[in-house]
Structure 1
Amino acid sequence: MTPAARKCLDQLRTLLRPASVATAGGFRPPSDPATSWFCRAVGQPGESLPQWNGRPMIPILQIRIDELPYVPEQLAQLALIVVFFDMEDLPLDRPHGEGWLIREYTSTDGLVPLPQAEQAFKPLPIRWTRIEDDAPGWEDAWSLPINMDALVADDAGSDAFSDNFECHDQTKVGGYPADIQGAVGLEDFMFQINSEDRVGLIWGASGMAYFFRLPDGTWRWSCQFD
């Protein structure tokens, strides 16, 4: 391996990120509904499921922030978020509020279970595990301040990247986005929702959904498929 390739890998090790990785089910659901869930949600008294095109959106993911072993800085001031989607007509390239919505709560006090819409998904509670070594995918790594050209020019270096660095592809908060088709983009990345077989949640053909929160609090999302 060339010295330049080795230096690139050493620099990459300093840029690994922590993340909170989700595991669906496998334990008794908690009695408190304001905890982390796939496909179940709470809201303020009087709130209902958000509507789009005359039908209720489905709560895909509920995250209780103080359950996360790692919390991105932009989420630290929140107590709970709920991600809603119109899964009948996936809102690709639509802004927040048009076919998808994220509700934010600064406290869990007084939150109550929302009505459950008809859905094909199996609601499951979530446990979170902290990892320390999340790495970017190959294409997103090019936006980091390291010389990736040195790896392209060195077979041993590019093999070491593939063998020793992992971008975890589970549902997770923090870390780097796990790409499927190419670069996702690193700026303002907050979390990703994987296709969850146990829940029955599939994005297209076993895809991944990525969520970004801008400094002004605006949300955006993107999705990649196999």
Structure 2
Amino acid sequence: MQIINLIKAIFSRTASDPKVVRPRVIEATSKEMNIAMHRLDELAKPAIFGEIGGGKPQQDNRAASWWGGNFLGAPGEDVPICNQSGKIMHPVLQIRVDELPEIPPAFEGFALINIWMDLQSSSFWGAENGNGFLVRAYTDFENLVPLGFGYRESSDLPTFPIFWRETILEQPVWQDMVDEVPTNVAQANADDWFSKSKYWSDRYFELCSRYPVKVGGWPTWIQGSDWPKDAQFLFQVDSTFKGKMSFVDSGSFYLFKTLDSWVIRGDCY
């Protein structure tokens, strides 16, 4: 009987628990961390936040930054028509460059930039100029004339002046930063140097939540970086209740300048 019990015990033993292989904790050297933080400082760019309204409008002054109308254009230009839908585009945002407290490199050489959109289009997310949106830029104000809806002449969008409220240094999101740092820093578990840096302050997040227009700085991507090839970032517009413009689920659009055109990107939650 004892022999039978011994045989049962041998064959009923459970296999020993497999060894848990824990991933190696990566620790960047102090030199690698210094390289990463120095690179973060190099990449931080001035972001200029614009408020839609918030001050008394100069209704007859089209040579200013405007939301929803009061645009200028060159003599002979017509209100643009979307290449894809065939619909008339609406004036959305006009930026008078010399009103900006700082002029980002992508704006140099321009006096006025405006963007028109087919407000019913969903195809401009990632589109080229003329499909769902159109950007026109002017090097000076000479001979520019009123074009499109004037002050409060359309019910599609409200007409407000844009006031440039504050400038703050902005760092890129992680997807735009990860290839700029040493591999051990990018793969390390500790990321406070980035996620709690001096650039992501309470003041910065307050400005992002308060003002829907941002010129310069970096795109604040929602679902991941989507830079067009060989492009410079110009500005970002977030969904805005006051401006009566919504991009899907609290989304944003981002405008880029390429070597020979303009490209738009969209993102949402």
TM-score tier, shorter chain, comes to: 0.7 to 0.9
CA contact (8 A) 1:16 1:132 kept: no
Q: How far apart are the structure 1 equivalents of 2:218 and 2:160?
A: 24
Task: Choose between structure 1 and 2: higher helix proportion.
Answer: 2
For 2:131, the equivalent position in structure 1 comes to 98
Q: How far apart are the structure 1 equivalents of 2:184 and 2:141?
A: 48
For 2:177, the equivalent position in structure 1 comes to 141
Q: Quick one: percent identity of the two aligned structures?
A: 31
Q: How far apart are the structure 2 equivalents of 1:148 and 1:225?
A: 29
Q: How far apart are the structure 2 equivalents of 1:113 and 1:140?
A: 39
How large is the Cα RMSD of the aligned pairs? 2.4
Q: How far apart are the structure 2 equivalents of 1:224 and 1:149?
A: 30
CA contact (8 A) 2:65 2:163 kept: yes
Q: How far apart are the structure 2 equivalents of 1:82 and 1:181?
A: 27
Matched to 1:124, the amino acid is: F
Q: How far apart are the structure 2 equivalents of 1:5 and 1:132?
A: 24
Deviations along 1:46-97, whole A, 9 cap, x unmatched?
Answer: 5332112342101111011111112222321111011011111222343211
Task: Choose between structure 1 and 2: higher strand proportion.
Answer: 1
CA contact (8 A) 1:195 1:202 kept: yes
Tell me the TM-score normalised to structure 2 length: 0.74
CA contact (8 A) 1:45 1:112 kept: yes
Unaligned runs of at least 5 residues, structure 2 = 1-26
For 1:206, the equivalent position in structure 2 comes to 250
Whether 1:159 and 2:202 are equivalent positions in the alignment is no
CA drift of 1:208 comes to 1.0
CA contact (8 A) 1:177 1:184 kept: no
Tell me the TM-score normalised to structure 1 length: 0.86
Q: How far apart are the structure 2 equivalents of 1:119 and 1:148?
A: 53
Q: Which structure would you say has the larger Rg? A: 2
For 1:47, the equivalent position in structure 2 comes to 77
Taking a change above 3 Å as real, the CA distance of residues 142 and 109 of structure 1, as seen in their structure-2 partners, is same
60-69 or 161-170, larger mean C-alpha shift: 161-170
Whether 1:111 and 2:141 are equivalent positions in the alignment is no
Among candidates 11, 28, 32, match of residue 56 of structure 2: 28
CA drift of 1:137 comes to 0.5
Deviations along 1:132-184, whole A, 9 cap, x unmatched?
Answer: 411001111124x32264154142xx133222233874422211111100113
